[in-house]
Amino acid sequence: MALSLILRNTAKLRGISSPPFHSFRRTQSFSQLLNNRNQFPLVAKTKMNLVNVINQTKRNMSADHSKLWPIEKAVSVLLIGIAPATFICPNPIFDNLFALTTVIHFHWGLEAVVVDYIRPAILGPVLPKLALILLYVVSATTLGSLLYYNHNSEGIGKTFQKLWAIQE
């Protein structure tokens, strides 16, 4: 990842001459190279950029997320039984469980996509936060709409039974 960020930021490294490779000795360590910053400007600027990239990509982990993974897998396994039960014998309990587990399952999956691909190191600090807020709004609206439909209409299970009964 650091190499790809360095390659993307080559415009920032303009005007840097390549280090004279004939002056390297086998006994010279990296710390000795850093001490000779005037002789090797590429090493000094690269180190500075790597430190900036590392500082930008640090995430503040506020909680232990290892406990969420088994819950996500349990919800996925639970959906294997809830989905057919909702469509075979529709009732308000199965309809609400199906709505809740489906929205939670999709929310966690899309949250992983947002966190993995809309990164602050690449897109800045504002866009990832807006994407997460939008995801929470869409998930809450979807769950609210499905629960409203279940309580004020016929429910998800009966709706799908009616759709299956339609013949051409």
What is the tens place of the pLDDT at every residue in 14-27?
A: 555 444 444 545 55
For the question of whether the overall pTM of this predicted structure is more than 0.75, the answer is no
Question: pLDDT tens-digit profile of 61-85?
Answer: 455 567 888 999 999 999 999 999 9
Q: What is the DSSP string of the chain?
A: -HHHHHHHTGGGGTTPPPP-GGG--TT--HHHHHH-TTT-HHHHHHHHHHHHHHHHH-----S-GGGHHHHHHHHHHHHHHHHHHHHHS--HHHHHHHHHHHHHHHHHHHHHHHHHHS-HHHH-SHHHHHHHHHHHHHHHHHHHHHHHHHHHSS-HHHHHHHHHH---
Q: Which domains does the chain have, with CATH numbers?
A: 2-57 (no CATH), 65-165 (1.20.1300.10)
